[in-house]
Amino acid sequence: MNSSDLRTKFLAFFKARGHAIVPSSSLIPDDPSVLFTTAGMQQFKKYFTGELDPIKDFGSKNVTSVQKCFRTSDIDEVGDESHLTFFEMMGNFSFGGYFKKEAIIYAHEFIAKELGLSIDYVSVFEGDADVPADMESEEIWKSLGVKDVRKFGRKDNFWGPTGAEGPCGPTSEVYVRGVEVWNLVFNEYYQDKNKKLTPLKVKGIDTGMGLERLAMMVQNTQTIFETDLFKNPLSTFMHLPGVDDKSGRIFADHIRGATFLIADGVLPSNKDAGYILRRLIRRAIFHSRKLTGEDNGGGFKLSTSRTLEAVKNTISFYGNSFENYKNLLVNEKDILKIFKEEQNKFIQTLDNGIREFNRLHNSKSKVQGESGGSYKIFGKISAEDAFHLYQSYGLPREIIRDLCVEREAEFDDKGFDKEFEKHQEISRAGVEKKFGGHGLTLDTGELKAGSEEEQRKVIKFHTATHLLHQALLEVLGNEVEQRGSDITPERTRFDFTFPRKVTPEELKRIEEIVNEKIKADLPVKVIEMSKAEAEKTGALKFFKGKYSDKVTVYFIGDSLENAFNKEFCAGPHVSRTSEIGKFKITKEESSSAGIRRIRAIIE
């Protein structure tokens, strides 16, 4: 039975038992306390609490759905037989219509009779200080002939709430071939923000069964990746001679996840859902370079059209196979465009990053000669090296980890965390004490950045000022030298040496360059190094600046080598230039003999 038939069968089964069919909601829920829709019950939260009336909205107290879900909790597990980020969850729900008995009878009937699968065992809640043991469910299962009823505590047999608060309750899980396929939740409580449980006025049912896992049982495959859900759209991309399965599976999962997130309106960015999307796309691209069979071990050639083809296949497979997806997808052209733009942005970073990884790795590996041949002792990538790849080359952490696995080098997760914290402290200290290395402090002089909002603006102006400095050098040449800078939440003011008035054409060009760099969404990164090393990089310095032996250099661009601008600076800065907004020069004037002054705002 293919997955499309499974969905239809499930919905029809519950429709025949008085359930209204409700379409899947978006992967991006209304609830601001959660990033994604992780369960079928999420769109029904207010029906469980009694805030909304199911009869009015669905004509029934009982509903059924096949819900698109996205979970980040399993992201590191993706690549094994059964873990995914995006999946579909089939469920039946009742808001005061029925409770344990019917829910268990339905589940048993569907699995054992409709699908003819044999239930290994089930589990029920064993009870604790706050919630009693679920004897009732145990008896119901036994009356249906399921003898193996196992009991577990809060960790395994209690579900919810999603987000900060909501309905929750004890569960009963159904296992087939040792895999949990169905989770029946008996929503009896409301858990508030302080984790206090209060009985719900009306008891409810919330069940969830992953379509991919069920397809694996019904189609009798060893992994979810062999089911039609992956095979049909993605198998040509997943399996290539000589490429390990894990890369193929990660690629397939991430392509599917990214496609659905974009389809529901998420755009790649540096925060929240957009950040997760960016990570998925980047990791999929990383693994795809192997799947195209063009990795030459050093640099690599990526077949960008193949990644796009995989996205395309996913769209047409789902668009054609399931009513739920026919109308909800952002159109195919836009999905591909968004994916492609992100891909283009990342390719250069990845290429440079892998080269640097190889350089570091080779420099620490030894070739051992033996009479019969030679073998390589693989080097360790230290936490500092890993952080350097992350910070200066923009390689995401999981890709550094993946590269380490490929090259049999150790990845020091804890050390990486420590490096990360160290650098965050540096930039926090930057906010608190010294601002921008321009000799200004955050709360003295003209620079008053009180509220978070104002600080945010000042930070944007700070990065914009670096861009301005560089654009001045490009347009006016080396006579330009910074003489002062003053930033408020309203504007930036920049003084520099130059012997004459700057012409309107030159000002226009300078403004254009800054805006081009903003639009290019360049990363802004920091690196700590010795003063001597920093000087060698050619980073700009403030002539009055007093620098200690260890300095931080901020650079704007993918790597220190190809950065548009690099400066000795204590930060803080935005993390990508696109956060700045539109830059506009408002005035150019003489400040004193041989010194010009430019004022600019952000619109």
CB 186 within 8 A of CB 205: yes
Composition of the chain by helix, strand, coil, percent to 5? 45, 25, 35
Q: Dmax of the chain from CA atoms?
A: 96
Shortest distance (Å) from residue 92 CB to ligand SER: 9
Shortest distance (Å) from residue 511 CB to ligand SER: 52
Specify the residue for token string 């569907």: 110
Nearest to ligand SER of 36, 159 (CB atom): 159
Nearest to ligand SER of 40, 523 (CB atom): 40
Helix (H, G, I), strand (E, B), or coil: what is residue 194?
coil
Interface residues with ligand SER (CB under 6 A) are 39-41, 91, 159, 183, 185, 206-208
Nearest to ligand SER of 87, 317 (CB atom): 87
Nearest to ligand SER of 107, 400 (CB atom): 107
What lies within 8 Å, CB to CB, of 424 at 6+ separation is none
Nearest to ligand SER of 39, 534 (CB atom): 39
Shortest distance (Å) from residue 34 CB to ligand SER: 12
Closest residue by Cα to residue 91 from 196, 184, 200, 216:
184
Whole-angstrom CA distances from 387 to 135, 197, 410, 474 are 53, 43, 14, 31
Dump strand ranges (E) for 454-491.
482-487
Angle at 190 between CA 189 and CA 191, to 5 degrees: 115
Nearest to ligand SER of 206, 511 (CB atom): 206
Report how far residue 164's alpha carbon sits from residue 321's, in angstroms, rounded to the nearest whole number: 35
Shortest distance (Å) from residue 160 CB to ligand SER: 6
Note the Cα 577 to chain centre separation in Å.
20
SS (H, E, C) 435-495: ECCCCEECCCCCCCCCCHHHHHHHHHHHHHHHHHHHHHHHHHCCCCCEEEEEECCCCEEEE
Using Cβ positions, the residue closest to ligand SER within the complex turns out to be 208
User: Would you give the DSSP letter of residue 579?
Assistant: G
Nearest to ligand SER of 204, 437 (CB atom): 204
Shortest distance (Å) from residue 221 CB to ligand SER: 22
Closest residue by Cα to residue 257 from 99, 140, 88, 416:
88
Shortest distance (Å) from residue 237 CB to ligand SER: 29
Prior bond to 161 cis, omega within 30?
Answer: yes
Report how far residue 400's alpha carbon sits from residue 296's, in angstroms, rounded to the nearest whole number: 18
User: Would you give the DSSP letter of residue 113?
Assistant: I
Shortest distance (Å) from residue 216 CB to ligand SER: 17
Nearest to ligand SER of 160, 557 (CB atom): 160
Shortest distance (Å) from residue 514 CB to ligand SER: 48
Specify the residue for token string 């039946």: 92
Report how far residue 106's alpha carbon sits from residue 245's, in angstroms, rounded to the nearest whole number: 37
Shortest distance (Å) from residue 336 CB to ligand SER: 31
Report how far residue 116's alpha carbon sits from residue 109's, in angstroms, rounded to the nearest whole number: 9
Shortest distance (Å) from residue 76 CB to ligand SER: 19
Nearest to ligand SER of 209, 522 (CB atom): 209
Handedness of CA 293, 367, 359, 527 (dihedral sign): positive
Nearest to ligand SER of 185, 518 (CB atom): 185
